[in-house]
A and B are shown apart, each in its own frame.
Chain A
Amino acid sequence: MALIDSFRRAADSDIWHSFRASPMTMAAAAVTLFIVLAAFLAPLIALQNPFDPANLNLSDAMRPPMFFGGEWSFPMGSDDQGRDLYSAILYGTRLSLEVGLAVVFFSMILGIGLGLVAGYVGGTLDAIIMRIADVQLTFPAILIALLIDGVVRGVISVKRHEEIAVFVIVASISLAFWVQYARTVRGSVMVERNKEYVQAARVIGLPRWLIMFRHVLPNVMGPVLVIATINLGLAIITEATLSFLGVGLPSTQPSLGTLIRIGNEYLNSGEWWITIFPGLTLAALVLAVNLLGDWLRDALNPKLR
């Protein structure tokens, strides 16, 4: 019953109405849903597993797409390794989405934690955290992520790096993205901490961490969720850019960015499909996610309109 109730409430809410009122947003939601579904059903609908070298045959390399003189077994053509591009795009999209979601998750946790501590505890700890945030904010996130990735490469061997590439890239982008959350949370906490419910909780004698996480945190989550949606698109772009630069995911487990990098080398010699199909997928995904994020920001925050 509670479930049906909450459905009914959702169907009657402002957000749902503003969603229905904007055809652009509905289109964006449909595209996002389609791409996400296709990506997570990849093992079922792909023609091969592109991560398994045993499936690749070099004699299949550089086949053109179906309607450009190719054949059914390679609907979008194949790349220089003989990988079916259609399957590679499905798996690559999945990887890009997973990295994007993981980055949003970890940077959010880190940013919320540090922001809460900075805002609630204050003092020297606050000063240290915020100075680090200020310095980091001077630089674009991509530069920070590149730097962290480069340092990791300086420490561990190339082979080892290839094994843990996904973790390295998630960690480096997350460490570049936490600042925005921390600053937002800190700002809201500074307002919330002086309110009566916090004082009441303190008078009861609750421990500080409990007040922070159980009482203050839920009241500062609104803006955090908006930032998270907008950052999803940004995280996907950053991962794709790093992979395109050749410092992200290796060509043995290609994300969309890696596929584009591989294809970029063949653009001048006429094999356009290796770049263009992953590129269009990435463009559609990012555009749709960004449109959704913008809509959510406006819907949750009528003041900004």
Chain B
Amino acid sequence: MIAFILRRLAQAVGVLLAVGFIAFSLFTYIGDPINAMVGQDTSMEDREELRRKLGLDDSPPLQFARFIGNAASGRFGLSYRTSDPVGRLILERLPATLELSLCAAIFAVGLGVPLGVYTGLYPRHWTSRALQAVSLIGISLPTFLIGIMLILFFAVILNVLPSFGRGDTVKFGWWTSGFFTWSGLKALILPSITLGLFQLTLIMRLVRSEMLEVMRTDYIKFARARGLSNRAINFGHALKNTLVPVITITGLQLGAIIAFAIVTETVFAWPGMGQLFVQSVQFGDIPVMAAYLLLVSFFFVVINMIVDLLYFVVDPRLRGMGAAAAGRH
């Protein structure tokens, strides 16, 4: 198991370095950072001086090493658009995105798994068929369209929920939270549903097909023959054996949630990282884009690692294999 973790860790570092290299190339070779910093009337000598001072005349490997070092400590330079430090810009907006993603993920998993179990256990019931048909629509429609429909219905027609912003937030140090005020919680509802709906339908369909598969196996028949209660069979035997693919997909989808927050945040004018990223793309603001890319890939890699480790928790066979593999060494 240790060897497995180390191998995964090496892979993760590899991916991060590759992304870091892309971010670095963008940063260094697309658009001249000097041009973005100085005025038009700066002389060539002054530019060279600045270039030397910033270390931009060093060899590329050295510059790359410095870039990675700076990135690891959160220094990404200045935004071309607002001239603020990029690290601070992103940090200010990080809580909004993470809280939204967390709510969306809880919504997707908390509702997706039970609905999937239900439709998997009673595939012929009309509610299951209806859910299955509706989920097809949920999977086909683009996120932003669902958000707009929700706004039209709940904010414009019924006027019960806010259509934009985070509501009132509470500050904890640098973290701002919308979890502790009424308006903050109300503001979270529509964006979370919008962001989580795709993942909800995906998880529901996956759990359903896995349940259908498992319910056909012999060990379920034997469990029935042993006279176990339906509850014990459904949850103790069937659901547990569907969890490995479900965890894989769910984990990957958590990363997708953070990325798709870009769209949801734009629909609901949610002051998060995604909105910042879209603004920086519209403006061609490379430092912000590079920093966002690195941060998001860091999240992705961490999530993937956690997913891999969860396999050991869920699947006892893997633990045995891991032990056997470790024993051989």
A contact residues vs B (CB 8 Å cutoff): 131, 134-135, 138-140, 142-143, 146-147, 149-151, 153-155, 233, 237, 240-241, 244-247, 260, 264, 267-268, 270, 272, 275-276, 279, 282-283, 286-287, 290-291
Q: Of B30, B143, B145, which is within 8 A of A282 by CB?
A: B145
* B177 within 8 Å of A (CB atoms): no
Given known A-B contacts A155-B31, A268-B163, A244 and B263 have beta carbons under 8 A apart: yes
Chain B residues with Cβ below 8 Å from A131 are 18
Verify B260–A155 contact, CB threshold 8 A: no
Q: List 17 A-B contacts (CB under 8 A).
A: A135-B15, A142-B259, A143-B259, A147-B281, A150-B280, A150-B285, A151-B289, A153-B283, A154-B289, A233-B140, A245-B263, A245-B266, A247-B281, A260-B144, A272-B156, A275-B152, A279-B145
Verify B289–A260 contact, CB threshold 8 A: no
* Contacting residues of chain B (229-281) with chain A, CB-CB under 8 angstroms: 255-256, 259-260, 262-263, 266-267, 277-278, 280-281
Verify A147–B140 contact, CB threshold 8 A: no
Q: How far is the CA of A270 from the CA of B156 in the complex (A)?
A: 8
**Shortest CB distance B280–A (Å):** 7
Verify A241–B263 contact, CB threshold 8 A: yes
Verify A150–B281 contact, CB threshold 8 A: yes
The count of chain B contact residues (Cβ–Cβ below 8 Å) is 46
Chain A residues with Cβ below 8 Å from B283 are 153
Given known A-B contacts A139-B297, A153-B282, A240 and B142 have beta carbons under 8 A apart: yes
**Shortest CB distance B308–A (Å):** 13
**Shortest CB distance A93–B (Å):** 15
Chain A residues with Cβ below 8 Å from B293 are 147
Verify B259–A272 contact, CB threshold 8 A: no
Main DSSP-derived SS at the A contact region: helix
Given known A-B contacts A135-B19, A244-B263, A149 and B145 have beta carbons under 8 A apart: no
Main DSSP-derived SS at the B contact region: helix
Verify A283–B284 contact, CB threshold 8 A: no
CB-nearest residue of chain A to B279: A246
Q: Which of B19, B148, B163 has its CB near the most chain A CB atoms (within 10 A)?
A: B148
Q: Of A134, A142, A151, which is within 8 A of B30 by CB?
A: A151
Q: Of A150, A270, A283, which is within 8 A of B145 by CB?
A: A283
Chain B residues with Cβ below 8 Å from A153 are 281-284
* B206 within 8 Å of A (CB atoms): no
Q: How far is the CA of A304 from the CA of B31 in the complex (A)?
A: 49
Residue interface mask B131-146, A partner, CB < 8 A = 1: 0000011011111110
Chain B residues with Cβ below 8 Å from A268 are 151, 155-156, 163
- Count A-B contacts at CB 8 Å: 122
**Shortest CB distance A297–B (Å):** 14
Given known A-B contacts A155-B31, A241-B143, A276-B152, A140 and B297 have beta carbons under 8 A apart: no
Given known A-B contacts A135-B15, A154-B284, A282-B145, A272 and B297 have beta carbons under 8 A apart: no
Chain A residues with Cβ below 8 Å from B151 are 267-268
* B149 within 8 Å of A (CB atoms): yes
Q: Of A139, A244, A247, A279, which is within 8 A of B282 by CB?
A: A247
Verify B300–A279 contact, CB threshold 8 A: no
B contact residues vs A (CB 8 Å cutoff): 15, 18-19, 26, 30-31, 136-137, 139-145, 148-149, 151-152, 155-156, 163, 255-256, 259-260, 262-263, 266-267, 277-278, 280-286, 289, 293, 296-297, 300-301, 304
Given known A-B contacts A135-B18, A140-B256, A154 and B286 have beta carbons under 8 A apart: yes
Verify B137–A287 contact, CB threshold 8 A: yes
Q: How far is the CA of A282 from the CA of B146 in the complex (A)?
A: 12
Q: How far is the CA of A282 from the CA of B145 in the complex (A)?
A: 9
Q: Of B139, B148, B296, B297, which is within 8 A of A267 by CB?
A: B148
Q: How far is the CA of A267 from the CA of B151 in the complex (A)?
A: 8
Verify A150–B284 contact, CB threshold 8 A: yes
**Shortest CB distance B174–A (Å):** 25
Q: How far is the CA of A149 from the CA of B262 in the complex (A)?
A: 15
CB-nearest residue of chain B to A269: B156
CB-nearest residue of chain A to B137: A287
Verify A146–B155 contact, CB threshold 8 A: no
Q: How far is the CA of A214 from the CA of B303 in the complex (A)?
A: 43
Q: How far is the CA of A287 from the CA of B304 in the complex (A)?
A: 31
Given known A-B contacts A139-B297, A147-B293, A245-B262, A260 and B148 have beta carbons under 8 A apart: yes
Q: Of B144, B152, B255, which is within 8 A of A244 by CB?
A: B144
Verify B31–A138 contact, CB threshold 8 A: no
Chain B residues with Cβ below 8 Å from A270 are 156
**Shortest CB distance A100–B (Å):** 13
**Shortest CB distance B248–A (Å):** 14
Q: How far is the CA of A143 from the CA of B256 in the complex (A)?
A: 9
Chain A residues with Cβ below 8 Å from B155 are 268
Chain A residues with Cβ below 8 Å from B297 are 138-139
Verify B142–A241 contact, CB threshold 8 A: yes
Chain A residues with Cβ below 8 Å from B26 are 151, 154
Q: Of B262, B282, B285, which is within 8 A of A142 by CB?
A: B262
